[in-house]
Amino acid sequence: MSGYVAGVDGGGTRTRAVIVDDTGAEIARAEREGAVANAAAPHEAADAVTSAVRAAAVEGGVKLPVRALWVGLAGAGREAARDAVTDALSRVGLAEAIEVGTDVEAAFHDAFGKGTGVMLIAGTGSIAWARDERGVMHRVGGWGQDVGDEGSGYWLVMEALRCVARAEDGRGDVTKLREFLLESLGLIDPTQLVTWVASASKREIAALVPDVVRAATDGDASAGDILESAVEMLARHLTTVVERSGPWSQKPALALSGGLISGAGPLRGPLLKAIAGHDLPFVGAELDPPMGAARRALALTLPDRQ
Band of residue 2 on the pLDDT scale cut at 50, 70, 90: low
Closest CA to 126 of 294, 240, 249: 240
Furthest-apart CA atoms within the chain: distance in Å: 65
User: What is the mean predicted confidence (pLDDT) over 129-137?
Assistant: 93
Looking at residue 241, what is its pLDDT?
A: 95
Predicted model pTM:
0.85
User: What is the mean predicted confidence (pLDDT) over 284-290?
Assistant: 83
Is the pLDDT at 265 greater than 80? The verdict is yes
Is the pLDDT at 198 greater than 70? The verdict is yes
Residue ranges and CATH numbers for the domains of the chain are 4-109+288-301 (3.30.420.40)
Looking at residue 291, what is its pLDDT?
A: 94
Looking at residue 34, what is its pLDDT?
A: 80
Q: Are 7 and 18 in contact (CB under 8 A)?
A: yes
Sheet holding 66-73, edge to edge: 26-33, 14-21, 4-10, 66-73, 95-102
User: What is the mean predicted confidence (pLDDT) over 211-236?
Assistant: 96
